[in-house]
Chains A and B, each alone.
Chain A
Amino acid sequence: MKNLSLDLLKIGQKAKVVEISSDENIKRRLLDMGLVENSIVECVLISPFQDPHAYDIKGATIAIRNDDAEKILVRCLE
């Protein structure tokens, strides 16, 4: 399965986090929310202006701007 950045996930697509190369601050915030390497995320919503997207992370729905999601590498499941 190919790797891609998180912002490219379509609604309903699930993926496994491969690498987070965001800067420290946002990285830690994502960490707090439970977004770590190897965790599973699913894109669930896309905002009317296409940015941000919202993801299911450990049962919670978290919106992340595309600029930040770009720096998160994931591998599509299915």
Chain B
Amino acid sequence: MKNEFTKIIALAGNPNVGKSTIFNALTGMHQHTGNWPGKTVSNATGEYSYNGNLYKIYDLPGTYSLISHSEEEEIARDFICFANPDLTIIVCDAVCLERNLNLALQTIEINDNVIICVNLLDEAKKKKIEVNLKKLSDILGVPVIGTCARDNIGINDIKYTVENYQKEKHFGINYDKYIETAIDIVYPNIKVNENINKRWLALRLIDNDISFIESLKRHVNIDFDGNLQDKILEARCYLEDNGIRLVDLKNYIVGNILKKAEDISRDVITFHDDDYSKRDRKIDKWLTNKWTGIPLMILLVMVIFWITIVLANYPSELLYNFLFWIEDKLYNFLAFIHVPTIVSDVLVGGIYRVLAWVVSVMLPPMAIFFPLFTLLEDLGYLPRIAFNLDKCFKKCCACGKQALTMVMGFGCNAVGVTGARIIDSPRERLIAIITNNFVPCNGRFPSIIAIITMFFVGFSNSLSSSLLNVCILTLVIVLGIVMTFLVSKILSKTILKGIPSSFTLELPPYRKPKVGKVIIRSIFDRTLFVLGRAISVAAPAGLIIWLLANININGSTLLSYCANFLDPFARLIGLDGVILMAFILGFPANEIVVPIMIMGYMATGGLTEFDNLLELKTLLVDNGWTYITAICFMIFSLMHFPCSTTCLTIKKETGSWKWTIVSILIPTLIGIGLCFIVNFIL
């Protein structure tokens, strides 16, 4: 692959320093970035051309260090060590450069074809932190480039430097003398062909870094002969004699590197204002305070839903009228070109109608919710939610970062499941994955909102009714959250026994989001993506449901056979056969549950057209819906099997059918149980 590309470049850096922003700026791609650690969870690749040369670039997961143990860090380390990139760009945050230098120094130690990119200079400037880039470059012997990637400043400098890369001098970390002597004992005996710094390699071997040594054996032909083994032991004994125990060695090493980083940053950074994060602290005091933290959090979520509901109403109605106006035209058109009635019925009455419903009901809320949500994300508020709620998760022996995966679940549960990779402990990650479905995703809450409007709030467009709607929706969501905690706790006490592991969470500084970019990105990357997926399954589902509703055997339709078959059980849990069948047929995407239900009723009830939610309510009531049915519908919508995409994602993430099945069974059984109880009591 090297032939094709002039250079292969790796992009590394601490989490949340704008690495992906730089990646996007370089490649013009739209990889989604978020203001929380752990966004890039596997290597993203892209390419760009500059002066007619083609460059390939790998965006590595964010890491604090290369000698630690998390999965992401191993991916990044192995790439830098063994994939032999021509260049590694280390992205650093100018605001906390000292800590970022830790990773930079570790990388330079392995392979000094490095460019340091000091990003977020604008933020540093605001906080009156001055970084002497020239001096930093002189000290490290590698090019240093200052950037503000969000404003596209410095991106061309990176491209230029990559093209004309020249190393100025070799920079090495000087460890204290005992460690250096130990390295001297081992490194002459290492025989590898690859371009890896042998002194660094020697230190890893002495340190007995098991995960690294395994990777080493996988990637490199290294000769572990008796001599090398002896020398390693000799070096360890030497260190032990001088008071450095093997168990402490890693801490010594990192301690040395950090000391170096501290020295360097003292040389290159000037703080003109010691209290530079005053503004953030002030905001945080309100948002994480004992009295105001939780209420503000709930209020914020409610405001977002309220804006979504209020703003979505009108375009939703317009779209609805428009799309069903088209439906008539389509019928006429097909009749005009002499398409047989049966075919036009399938195409328009089946496929088109389900599509029209999905678009008109799902698109407006999504197009409003996703940008708002992305705004909150870019602002940096989401980690604060994890910070506020961590104690609750700890009580359930789970990880506070699960709050982040839940929030992602509002957008799409499959994303929430993938996002669980930010949780280090495998046990806690499984809990987060299994319980993610208790958060209603974007495919579900518009249906829940519609049901709330029809059965509990009424149809007036007044402020009070929209507020009431939000309150009920919040109640439903709170029920989902309570279930998440409960199930997490139960799992921790039964099949996923364990104690909460320790955790550290970085609270990034608040950043002013680029509103225009946010809107464009969330519409294109998220809204259209999710809608596209919904539409692609809605069309075949529309076909199937039409067939079921129109194929007659012995005088009644397949649909009524199925519905009648499910009906007795469905009645037990407050639903009916058609609803339950809609949920089952809606397995590919929750968005299509309501349209399938409507078609089911229309096929059996003889009603052929309705214009708005009011008529929909009439349709539902005519088919025996009461407010109990509505409650059970909402509960079951909140708690049933995850959609097929989510199931496949769970399988991929856990690597096991067993946990996938557990993730299907748990919410389904709870949903059935709860609906049964509600139906029985009310």
A residues touching B (Cβ–Cβ < 8 Å)? 22-34, 36-37, 44-52, 54, 56-65, 67-68
| Complex contact B390–A30 (CB within 8 A) | no
| Complex contact A62–B504 (CB within 8 A) | yes
Residue of chain B at shortest CB distance from A52 = B390
- On chain A, the residues within 8 Å of B387 by CB distance are 45, 47, 52, 54, 63
Q: How far is the CA of A67 from the CA of B293 in the complex (A)?
A: 22
| Complex contact B288–A45 (CB within 8 A) | yes
| Complex contact A34–B390 (CB within 8 A) | no
Minimum distance in angstroms from A52 CB to a CB of chain B: 5
- On chain B, the residues within 8 Å of A45 by CB distance are 281, 284-285, 288, 387, 507
Q: How far is the CA of A22 from the CA of B258 in the complex (A)?
A: 19
Instruction: Judge if B411 is at the interface, Cβ distance under 8 Å.
Output: no
| Complex contact B251–A60 (CB within 8 A) | no
Residue of chain A at shortest CB distance from B253 = A31
Residue with the greatest number of chain B CB neighbours at <10 A, chosen from A24, A45, A56: A45
Known: A32-B254, A47-B390, A58-B98. A65 touches B288 (CB 8 A): no
| Complex contact B504–A34 (CB within 8 A) | no
| Complex contact A63–B390 (CB within 8 A) | yes
Q: How far is the CA of A65 from the CA of B394 in the complex (A)?
A: 9
Q: How far is the CA of A31 from the CA of B66 in the complex (A)?
A: 12
| Complex contact A25–B502 (CB within 8 A) | yes
- On chain B, the residues within 8 Å of A44 by CB distance are 281, 284
Minimum distance in angstroms from B18 CB to a CB of chain A: 14
| Complex contact B506–A60 (CB within 8 A) | yes
- On chain A, the residues within 8 Å of B394 by CB distance are 51, 65
Known: A59-B99, A63-B504, A67-B502. A31 touches B254 (CB 8 A): yes
Q: How far is the CA of A51 from the CA of B393 in the complex (A)?
A: 11
| Complex contact A48–B288 (CB within 8 A) | yes
Within 8 A of A (CB), among B374-419: 387-388, 390-392, 394, 400
- On chain A, the residues within 8 Å of B391 by CB distance are 47, 49-52
Q: How far is the CA of A77 from the CA of B517 in the complex (A)?
A: 44
Instruction: Judge if B294 is at the interface, Cβ distance under 8 Å.
Output: yes
| Complex contact A54–B507 (CB within 8 A) | yes
B residues touching A (Cβ–Cβ < 8 Å)? 64-65, 68-69, 95-99, 102, 247, 250-251, 254-255, 258, 261, 277, 280-281, 284-285, 288-291, 293-294, 387-388, 390-392, 394, 400, 500, 502-509
- On chain B, the residues within 8 Å of A59 by CB distance are 95-99
| Complex contact B505–A63 (CB within 8 A) | yes
- On chain A, the residues within 8 Å of B102 by CB distance are 32, 34
Q: How far is the CA of A60 from the CA of B64 in the complex (A)?
A: 12
| Complex contact B96–A28 (CB within 8 A) | no
Residue of chain B at shortest CB distance from A60 = B96
- On chain A, the residues within 8 Å of B502 by CB distance are 22-23, 25-26, 29, 65, 67-68
| Complex contact B99–A33 (CB within 8 A) | yes
Contact of B294 among A36, A48, A64 (CB under 8 A): A48
- On chain A, the residues within 8 Å of B68 by CB distance are 28-29, 32
Q: How far is the CA of A48 from the CA of B290 in the complex (A)?
A: 4
29 A-B pairs with CB atoms under 8 Å apart are A27-B251, A28-B65, A28-B68, A29-B68, A29-B504, A32-B65, A33-B506, A34-B102, A34-B258, A34-B261, A45-B285, A45-B288, A45-B387, A46-B288, A46-B290, A47-B288, A47-B388, A48-B288, A48-B294, A51-B390, A51-B391, A54-B288, A61-B506, A61-B508, A62-B505, A63-B387, A63-B390, A65-B390, A65-B394
Q: How far is the CA of A61 from the CA of B281 in the complex (A)?
A: 10
Residue of chain A at shortest CB distance from B285 = A45
The 10 closest A-B pairs by CB, nearest first: A59-B96, A49-B391, A32-B64, A48-B293, A26-B502, A32-B65, A61-B507, A63-B505, A34-B99, A68-B502
- On chain B, the residues within 8 Å of A62 by CB distance are 504-507
Residue of chain B at shortest CB distance from A31 = B254
Minimum distance in angstroms from A32 CB to a CB of chain B: 4
- On chain A, the residues within 8 Å of B392 by CB distance are 49
| Complex contact B258–A36 (CB within 8 A) | yes
Q: How far is the CA of A45 from the CA of B507 in the complex (A)?
A: 10
Residue of chain B at shortest CB distance from A44 = B281
Q: How far is the CA of A62 from the CA of B290 in the complex (A)?
A: 18
- On chain B, the residues within 8 Å of A23 by CB distance are 502
- On chain B, the residues within 8 Å of A60 by CB distance are 96, 99, 506
Residue of chain A at shortest CB distance from B425 = A25
Q: How far is the CA of A22 from the CA of B251 in the complex (A)?
A: 12
List 11 extra interface pairs beyond A60-B99, A63-B505, CB under 8 A. A24-B247, A33-B64, A36-B254, A37-B255, A46-B288, A47-B387, A47-B391, A52-B505, A57-B99, A60-B96, A65-B394
Q: How far is the CA of A47 from the CA of B293 in the complex (A)?
A: 8
- On chain A, the residues within 8 Å of B504 by CB distance are 26, 29-30, 33, 62-64, 68
Q: How far is the CA of A45 from the CA of B102 in the complex (A)?
A: 25
Residue of chain A at shortest CB distance from B103 = A32
- On chain A, the residues within 8 Å of B97 by CB distance are 59
Minimum distance in angstroms from A26 CB to a CB of chain B: 4
Q: How far is the CA of A49 from the CA of B502 in the complex (A)?
A: 17
Q: How far is the CA of A36 from the CA of B256 in the complex (A)?
A: 10
Q: How far is the CA of A58 from the CA of B555 in the complex (A)?
A: 77
- On chain B, the residues within 8 Å of A64 by CB distance are 504
Residue with the greatest number of chain A CB neighbours at <10 A, chosen from B98, B261, B502, B503: B502
Minimum distance in angstroms from B100 CB to a CB of chain A: 9
Q: How far is the CA of A69 from the CA of B68 in the complex (A)?
A: 20
Minimum distance in angstroms from A4 CB to a CB of chain B: 20
Contact of B99 among A48, A52, A58 (CB under 8 A): A58
Q: How far is the CA of A15 from the CA of B254 in the complex (A)?
A: 21
| Complex contact A31–B255 (CB within 8 A) | yes
Contact of A52 among B255, B261, B281, B400 (CB under 8 A): B400
Q: How far is the CA of A5 from the CA of B149 in the complex (A)?
A: 40
Q: How far is the CA of A60 from the CA of B276 in the complex (A)?
A: 11
| Complex contact B503–A58 (CB within 8 A) | no
Q: How far is the CA of A50 from the CA of B31 in the complex (A)?
A: 37
Known: A44-B281, A49-B392. A34 touches B503 (CB 8 A): no
